[in-house]
Amino acid sequence: MLLGVTLAGGMLVGATFFGGTKSLNNIGRGYTKYREILQLIENNYVDTVNTDELVDFSIEKMLQKLDPHTAYMNPQDAIAARSQLEGGFDGIGVEFNIYKDTVYVVTPLAGGPSEAAGIQSGDKIIKVDDTPLAGGKIENSAVFKALRGKRGTEVKMTILRKGEKEPRLFTVTRDRIPTYSIDAAYMVDGKTGYIKVNRFSETTYDEFKTALASLKSQGMTQLMMDLRNNPGGYMDRATSIADEFISGNKMLVYTDGKDNRYDRQTYARIAGQFEEGALVVLMDEGSASASEIVAGALQDHDRALIAGRRSFGKGLVQMPVQLSDGSELRLTISRYYTPSGRSIQKPYVPGQEGDYEKDLEQRSKRGEYYIADSIKNDPKLKFKTDGGRVVYGGGGITPDYFIPRDSSWQTPYLVQLYGKNIIREFAMEYANDNRKKLEKMPFDEFNRTVTINDELMARLVKDATSEGIKFNEKEYSRSKNYIRTQVKALVARYVYQKNNKAGQNNEYFRVAGEADDTYQKALKLFDRANKLEHGMFTYNQPERK
């Protein structure tokens, strides 16, 4: 939820927030009344109350009368939210997971202080300084609080390693830990590149330029850019990435607010690295805001084939404003429009957030995730691309080529495996048991020769049964190949990720792609993307499976 509030907004940075005092008199009367009520409560209410909590509550209720994306965050939540978009944080550099009220190290981040100190995947974190992290209910927030801190400070970690009876004591010096927004960037074959962007943060554009240049140097002539489940982030990073693909000085996006303080028009301005070449962009219902800005610009200029499912539909721009106590207001200041003039903001009624939040659920009930004809665009919101193709506003980016959600492998049995962390734990154990052999093996050899055979799958089922998951043969058969692929992909991640200093999980995605139906179908769309780029429009509505 916090990530969604933080990122599902194209956030405008650098604009002037305080535009004058003309409205101060209008709000003065309301402020006086509010202050009087708070003072009366503080002095006369029958019970002791926390007026800070009352203020936070009243602010949240007030903002519900605006739009679904204007949000208020207390100081703690604001810090956590900003860290999602900043280029790093101060900490010890581990990815952790809580399983059965025990904190496990998933992996020490490559080049980080934990790796340097000797902490390994699978280690159990028993205690941090004097704070126990074992036994009882453990929350993510408590782990973050214990592990993060000012760089240069030391933290003593009590670790229990598998196969050892006595815990070890490690002293780790906190440092700046970079965060990355490019999950993967690799060559699928001799000419096809793949880049997955998970959000638009401070460092996204720099990461993207580096990844794009690397793929071009390896012979890339066509690219798949994966924006699935990318909830957005900074608008200027999104337009900078779009500019890498769009030639000349074409418009990328424009914004329109209450007055001209927040009205902006952004145009392509650089000679991009990939202005020619077939481009496929993957989107789904989790792609929002800044992701939709990129896709909208590429679609309106007939530069990319948009494939997948209709995007979220978030066309409001927020400005983050830090308040005096460290809390933060994310205030909607404008709407953004794609080059053809369409707003992709889906409908909402102020004060009725429940209906807005249920939109994705309603799409599922209508069958929209599985049948292209279930996408109902408003015929009154019809626009045209540069080449005359019809596109629609009012509710996300409708793909040029529809790819249904693959649910063939989704079963209640699989849900339980994930719920009790069986797949990840099994993969981690396999990687640790075979690490010496696997680390000597190049990834291509690993991918070609390592298989999660039936014997290993039987062990996984046994582990699941011992954790109280009742075996269901029919459901297991449906999910078996997916489970097998996921285990192998996670093993690849645990073994090879540390070799990628850019924080990418290329090996994981290369293996996982084998069971990714959307990815596999999209690989067959480059002929269509090539025709689109050259103005050969043979379709006007989302093509079916």
Cα 249 to Cα 22, 252, 267, 276, 331, distances in angstroms: 37, 9, 6, 15, 30
Specify burial of residue 305 (Cβ count, 10 A radius: 0-12, 13-18, 19+).
buried
Active site residues per annotation = 289, 300, 314
Q: Which of 12, 531, 66 is nearest to 304 (CA)?
A: 531
d(CA 6, CA 327): 13
Q: Do 159 and 172 form a contact (C-beta atoms < 8 A)?
A: no
Which three-class secondary structure state does DSSP give residue 233? strand
d(CA 351, CA 359): 15
- Quote the distance between the C-alpha of residue 52 and its chain's center: 32
Q: Which of 271, 234, 273 is nearest to 14 (CA)?
A: 234
> What letter represents residue 282's amino acid?
L
Whole-angstrom Cα Rg for the chain: 25
The residues near 482 (Cβ < 8 Å, ≥ 6 apart) are: 409, 414, 515
Q: What are phi and psi of 11, to 5 degrees?
A: -95, 130
Residue with structure tokens 């009590």? 158
Q: Which of 220, 214, 295, 222 is nearest to 10 (CA)?
A: 295
d(CA 139, CA 141): 5
